[in-house]
Amino acid sequence: MYAVLKIGGRQFVVGSGDRLKVEKMNAQEGQTLEFEPILIRKDDGSIELNKGKVLAETLGHGKHRKVHVFKFRAKKNYKRWKGHRQPYTEIMIKEIKEA
């Protein structure tokens, strides 16, 4: 069984026990979160739309690897380096409940 979730503007295909890095959420470590799935596909192949629940546990917070941004204009002596590290929340899918 798997489900399709929309979290932070992105869609994820998840199964029970999966670990995800999603956009930073205001949740404490160890807190249980509840999401409404877009779609659930059962083991027998049937599909449910917009029904059920997905329970997840917050594992922690962190930052992704640094992304370097380099701006350059030829023949103008213009160079700029910037770096960015996007914060994330790591969650683990505990259970997929069907309606």
Across the chain, what does the average pLDDT equal? 96
CB 88 within 8 A of CB 80: no
pLDDT digit string (tens) for 50-68?
Answer: 999 999 999 999 999 999 9
Split at pLDDT 50, 70, 90, the class of 93 is very high
- In order of 2, 6, 70, 90, 91, the CA distances from 45 in angstroms are 10, 21, 48, 29, 26
- In order of 10, 16, 37, 95, the CA distances from 46 in angstroms are 24, 17, 15, 18
pLDDT digit string (tens) for 13-32?
Answer: 999 999 999 999 999 999 99
Looking at the DSSP bridge assignments, the partners of residue 51 are: none
pLDDT reading at 94 higher than 90: yes
pTM for this prediction: 0.83
* Res 54: pLDDT: 97
pLDDT reading at 96 higher than 90: yes
pLDDT reading at 99 higher than 90: no
